[in-house]
């Protein structure tokens, strides 16, 4: 079951995808209410039964699927990410090696909800960075108790030259205008076992030509979802729940950097495709 957030005539709304191309409006429902309900799928069905409004997906203006949920990210959860970061960083190679093996994962703050870019919005590359990449990631949707209730698609946009120069520059490499995109849908109710069968694919297009393509599998994520969520909720509270990106397993070749107007398409089988255009910020 897939839900989305979209621009309604009087403000943001939540909808549920019915069939392939229709979205039913879920009235005044909130994401927190859905995430924290005893059975989110039943709750969504109940809300959909009460609605009389549905519209074609093609007419929707998608919004990022977050209301008051902060976005956090896990790092170095794939072998591929560890190797690439050790190569890019002369000063901090051993940090990445250690965190990949350590019991405690790397977790960092990524975005406030109102700063998250939705499907078809513009993601940013910093004007003071020379080496910019998208990071296509599965995003866990967590309720206020830290339970995984759904999954969405995330793009953890990153400036590799800034991160590589000094690990203490990580927040500047990772948190800036347009650095986080989510959407278009939240897949509700799939188990971790099901999610681990999904593929993550990326295509980057420039002037009508594909300039990069890559694929990995959710099964390659080293840590379990409950382990990642458990660390995020340690000594921490998220009254509306939270989103947790699970790290990247696709790294473009070192000579690749994003450019203004590039189109980034991230597909996760089981969820859908998140499409964004790159802009210099």
Sign of CA dihedral 100, 225, 73, 230: negative
User: Binders of Mg ion: how many residues, by CB under 5 A?
Assistant: 3
Residue 88 engages Mg ion in binding (rule: CB under 5 A): no
**Residues 2, 16 contacting (CB under 8 angstroms):** yes
Q: Which does 262 bind (CB under 5 to 8 A by kind): Mg ion, ligand DO4, none?
A: none
- With CB under 5 A as the contact rule, the residue among 156, 163, 187, 262 that binds Mg ion is 156
- With CB under 6 A as the contact rule, the residue among 81, 89, 132, 179 that binds ligand DO4 is 81
User: Binders of ligand DO4: how many residues, by CB under 6 A?
Assistant: 11
Q: How far apart are CA 114 and CA 134, in angstroms?
A: 20
User: Cβ 197 to ligand DO4, closest distance in Å?
Assistant: 21
Sign of CA dihedral 42, 45, 49, 53: positive
User: Cβ 24 to ligand DO4, closest distance in Å?
Assistant: 35
Residue 15 or 178: which CB sits closer to ligand DO4? 178
Q: How far apart are CA 276 and CA 180, in angstroms?
A: 11
Residue 25 or 156: which CB sits closer to Mg ion? 156
Which span sits near Mg ion by CB under 5 A: 91-99, 107-115, 116-124, 241-249?
241-249
Residue 216 engages ligand DO4 in binding (rule: CB under 6 A): no
Residue 179 engages ligand DO4 in binding (rule: CB under 6 A): no
CA 254 to the chain's CA centroid: 23
Residue 53 or 168: which CB sits closer to ligand DO4? 168
Cα distances (Å, whole numbers) of residue 213 to 9, 135, 203, 209: 37, 12, 4, 11
The mark string for 220-259 relative to ligand DO4 (x by CB under 6 A, - otherwise) is ---------------------------xx-----------
**Residues 112, 72 contacting (CB under 8 angstroms):** no
Residue 216 or 248: which CB sits closer to Mg ion? 248
Q: How far apart are CA 206 and CA 267, in angstroms?
A: 18
Around Cβ 212, how many Cβ atoms within 10 Å?
A: 18
Q: How far apart are CA 270 and CA 137, in angstroms?
A: 13
Q: Restricting to residues 87-146, name those near ligand DO4 by CB under 6 A.
A: 106, 135
Q: What is the length of the chain?
A: 281
Residue 267 engages ligand DO4 in binding (rule: CB under 6 A): no
| Interacting residues with ligand DO4 (CB under 6 A) | 73, 75-76, 81, 85, 106, 135, 156, 170, 247-248
């Amino acid at each position: 079951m897939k839900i989305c957030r979209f621009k309604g005539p009087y403000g943001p709304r939540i909808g549920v995808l019915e069939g392939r191309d229709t979205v039913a409006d879920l009235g005044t429902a909130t994401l927190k209410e859905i995430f924290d309900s005893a059975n989110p799928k039943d709750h969504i069905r109940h809300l959909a039964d009460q609605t009389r409004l549905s519209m074609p997906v093609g007419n929707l203006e998608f919004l990022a699927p977050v209301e008051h949920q902060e976005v956090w990210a896990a790092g170095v959860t794939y072998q591929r990410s560890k190797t690439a970061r050790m190569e890019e960083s002369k000063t901090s190679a051993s940090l990445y090696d250690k965190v990949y093996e350590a019991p405690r994962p790397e977790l960092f703050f990524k975005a406030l909800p109102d700063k998250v870019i939705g499907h078809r919005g513009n993601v940013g590359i910093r004007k003071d960075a020379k080496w910019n990449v998208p990071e296509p990631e599965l995003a866990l949707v967590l309720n206020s108790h830290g339970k995984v209730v759904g999954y969405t698609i995330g793009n953890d946009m990153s400036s590799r030259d800034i991160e590589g120069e000094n690990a203490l520059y990580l927040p500047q490499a990772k948190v800036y205008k347009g650095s986080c995109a989510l959407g278009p849908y939240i897949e509700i109710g799939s188990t971790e076992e099901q999610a681990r069968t999904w593929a993550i694919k990326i295509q980057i297009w420039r002037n009508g030509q594909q300039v990069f393509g890559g694929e990995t599998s959710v099964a390659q994520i080293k840590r379990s979802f409950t382990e990642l969520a458990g660390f995020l909720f340690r000594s921490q509270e998220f009254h509306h729940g939270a989103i947790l990106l699970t790290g990247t397993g696709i790294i473009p070749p070192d000579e690749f950097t994003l450019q203004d107007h590039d189109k980034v398409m991230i597909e996760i089988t089981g969820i859908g495709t998140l499409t964004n255009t790159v802009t210099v910020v």
